[in-house]
Structures are given as C-alpha cells and as structure tokens.
Chains A and B, each alone.
Chain A
Amino acid sequence: MSDIAPPAESPLVPLAPPHGGDLVKRHRLSTRLWHWTNAVTLLIMLMSGLMIFNAHARLYWGEYGANFDSPWLKIGSARIGTHEYGYLQVAGHRVETTGLLGYWKDPDGTPHRRAFPYWATIPSAYSLADARTWHLAFAWVLSLGLATYLIWSLINRHIQRDIHITRREWRLRHVWQEVKDHARLRLPTGAAALRYNTLQKIAYAMVLFGLLPLMILTGLALSPGTDAWLPVTEIFGGRQTARSIHFLCAFALVGFFVVHIAMVVLAGPFNELRSMVTGWYRLPKERDR
C-alpha cells in the first residue's frame, strides 16, 4: 500500500502484513447491512418499475410526451397478416422481441401485449396501482438507506479510505494495467486483494455517487408535487427527459449487477459471499511468478 499506515483500530488492515490464505476482516457491518438491504430494495424497485413502465411503454425527451408525440424508445406489438409479434423500437429502428418484450405468453399460454413479461415485474399480472405501492414505499428505503450509508461511510472513513481513488491509481498506465489484468482474469492476490482495485473503486463510486443519486433525483423529478417546490424537473430538462434518464440509469444498474455477479463468481463465490455476510474474507494465495 502506498499510503501511510492507517491507525491500528482499522478493521481493514491488521497489524502484521497479511498473506495469501489469511482470514481477514474485510467488510464492516454498515457495509454488509446496506449491501443486502439495497440488494433487496433495488430488485423490488426494478421489478415494480418495469410494471410502471408497462402502463406507458414509451420514452420521450423534453417536458411533455404522450401518444401523439414521437418517442425515442417504444416497446409494442404489431401484426403482419396472422403473425403477431413484439418489438423494441429505438430511434426509429425496430428489433423483433417476441416472447421477451411487447408480445409474450404467461405460464398458462395466454398471450399478452405488455412491454415487460410477467417474470420481470412486480406484481406479475398487470397492476399499475400495486406496482406504484411497492415502488413508492421502497423509494424511502432506498433514499434513506443511501443517505445513511453515505453519511456513516464518511464518518467511519470508508469512503476516504476504500473508495477514494488516489492520484497514483488514476494514472493511465495503472488503469490500463488493471484492465489487462482483468481481461486475463488475473485478479489481485495476497495483501493486494485486501483493498478494492481501481476498476472496482470506479464502479462502486459510479453507483454510489452517480447512478443511485440519479435514480432518486430523476424519480423525484417525476412527482408533480415535488416539481412545485424543487427545481429538479427543470434541471433535468423536463419531466419526460427525467423519466428517460430514470429508465437508462435503471438499466445501467442492471449492467453493474451483471458485471458484479460475474466478478463474484470469478473471484470465488463462497469466499466473496462469506465476506459480505460475516465480514471475513480469505485472502487468495499469491501466484507463483
């Protein structure tokens, strides 16, 4: 580690330099609690959000947007002769998505013409009201959870110590080396595995300070009540733009989730899962060079 030695009470760095094979304390209770609360909350937010989207499966830019206006994204169904199909349309280009988006069958074989299929939504059968009930209740859990976690992580210096990207780490050569190591699946071992690597820090920082705050702010921007007292809708360039950003950020979070799970599997799912449940992590053995 290039930075000065942290205080002895730091849970992240034991007094003697750790070696590969050592069981070390890796994640604080606040991190673990927030991680799992957030995992459940984001799943509920995503699935209920997809159901809300089903009520009007179009996205626009600007302040207004409805059926007479042209959407930049649309999920729908159409028919050519007897062939009915689902499609996703982005900027005028259509891709057929039958079975997945726009036209799909439920387990009973009944066809539906909604955007997202039953297995992706809360609840599984169309209900805008129930989806809103879930979405808007858990919006509080997401917002207060994030705010508490960020404040707590500033106080216990988790952000400064573990997420903060140092000037050395920002160097292009360093980042490029990490990209190459990741591409070859040469993940950090030994004491180096104790700290987040730069790509990991960038990903976490983007979620913590970018995507999650954007989700909350664009969500607030959709509220006609909020629009009266907070200029958030205006800042995003209109309610329909805010709705589009809300949707795009949601899928960016899905993208983060996919990469996150892939990295957990590659880094050793048991060890990773244990560290996020109990806090204890076994450092991977140093490679023979």
Chain B
Amino acid sequence: MSKLILSRRRLIQAGVVGAGGLLLSGCDRLTRDPKVLDFLGEAENLHRVTQRGLAGDALAREFAESQMSPTFRANGSLAVADPVYRAHFAQGFSQWALRLDGMVERPLMLPLTALKQFPQRTQITRHDCVEGWSAIGKWTGPRVATLLDLARLQPEARYLVFHCADLYGGRPYYESIDLVDALHPQTILAWAMNGRPLEEQHGAPLRLRVERQLGYKHAKFVTRIEAVAALDGIYGGKGGYWEDNGRYAWYAGI
C-alpha cells in the first residue's frame, strides 16, 4: 500500500515537473517566435511617435564638468583594423576627410581640419548604453545641420546613413537617423571628447552624437554620411548594425 502511494506521489511529481517543463518550453518558444516579436516590435512606432510628439525639439539634459564620469567606458569596436584607417591614424588624420554624399545637391569631401573650422558646439551629456550603464562626457564638434546646409539635401532625402571604418563581428558597422534628429541642435559630429581629440576606442576621428537616443546610435569611426530616401537595400535594410543583427529598435529613444 505504501509503495502504491509512493509511486502515485512520484507519478504526480513527474506529471507536475513534466507539465511545468512543457509549459516553460512552450512559453519559451513563444517568446522567441519571430512573428510574435515582429508584432511586439511594432510598439517601436508608438514609442517614436509619442516621444517625438511630447518632446518636440527639447534638448537632452546637459551637465556641469563636476558631474562628468571619472572614466568613460568604451564599448563596441575599440580599434579599427582597416589599413586605410591605420595610415590616417598614423598621420594624426591630417590628410583624412569625411565624405558627405547621396541625395545632396553638392557632394562634399570635408577634411578634419575644415570640420574644426565650422561653428562648434560643446555639450556635456549622459551617454546611455542599451545595456543599462551610463557615462557623462564632454563632446565638441560641428552640428550635422551645418554640414547639411552646405551640401543642400535633395527634397526626397529622408535619412542620413553613417558609414563607419570598423567591422564588428566581421561586419561593417553603420547607423542611420532621420531628419528630425539630423537637424536637432545637439546632433553633432564630435572630433573631441573631454577637451582632447577623440581616442581610437571612442571612435576617432569622428563620432556621431544623437543625444536623445541610446549609445548604439552614436556611430564611431564615421567616414561617410550618405543621404537617402529609404533604408531598404542598405546593408541589412533595417537602418543599423544592431537593428540588422539582433532585432534592436531603430528608434532608440527608450
């Protein structure tokens, strides 16, 4: 009799564990289902429209020097292997130039020295990584809007694609923003960080700053800006390295 009870108890235990396991694996399959994730990912549009509607042109918060991080963490690619980049690096980027082309009336090659001659913006802002950490640093560079004034966007241009010199996991890094962020006063191409020229690990010679979005939008090692009407057909078509390679949201304001 006691054996019978024991075996029944075991049976129930096995049943509970089995059902739990099934439920868990069933739920897990659901949580990774691409169709489900695509559907839930649609919330990104809700985030973008809501945030943009409420924020307007509001500036990201700026900080005092005393509030800066003692050490600013570097993430993503910390160095670039590309031989052309290495040659420019060796020359202190004195012969280096940024290409600005695509849907513009006047494609430009902008030497780093010229970029430093434009009106400069310096801002102490908080860099928020998608992983959860933050660091506060000081960034200096010309506004992207200033460069666009010079190159004159064609009316069909909707996005700016930032091509980068680095490969991450063997694939070229890139990012894109729309004109709302491109024309925002705090959107700059920083060549200096904390009062010194950008270090390689932080994206020398130029790093995009889009202060109201998460860190992965702030492309490092920017070599070319391309104005486009749509993001389809550019690399993976989703507008950025992490957007293509991991379902990260293109709008990274939250």
Interface residues of A (CB under 8 A from B): 52-53, 55-56, 58, 63-69, 119, 122-125, 127-130, 132-134, 136-138, 140, 222-230, 233-234, 239-240, 243
Contact = CB atoms under 8 A, between A and B. Distances in A.
B126 interface: yes
Interface residues of B, number: 48
A225 B44 CA distance: 13
Interface stretch (B77-85, B220-228, B246-254): B246-254
Nearest to A123: B31
A226 B254 contact: yes
A132 B249 contact: yes
A135 to B, nearest CB: 10
A65 B54 contact: no
Interface string B72-91: 11000000000000000000
Given A64-B69, A64-B126, A68-B69, A228 B31 contact: no
A65 B72 CA distance: 9
B31 A129 contact: no
A65 B254 contact: no
B135 A66 contact: yes
Contacts of B28: 123-124
Nearest to B125: A224
B57 to A, nearest CB: 9
A234 B61 contact: yes
Given A136-B254, A225-B55, 12 more contacts: A64-B126, A65-B134, A127-B32, A129-B247, A133-B43, A136-B44, A223-B254, A224-B60, A224-B211, A224-B212, A224-B214, A226-B254
Given A69-B69, A225-B213, A133 B37 contact: yes
B139 to A, nearest CB: 14
A127 B130 CA distance: 12
A132 B249 CA distance: 9
A68 B254 contact: no
Nearest to B43: A137
A243 B132 CA distance: 8
Contacts of A223: 51, 253-254
Nearest to B53: A229
B114 interface: no
Contacts of B253: 223-226
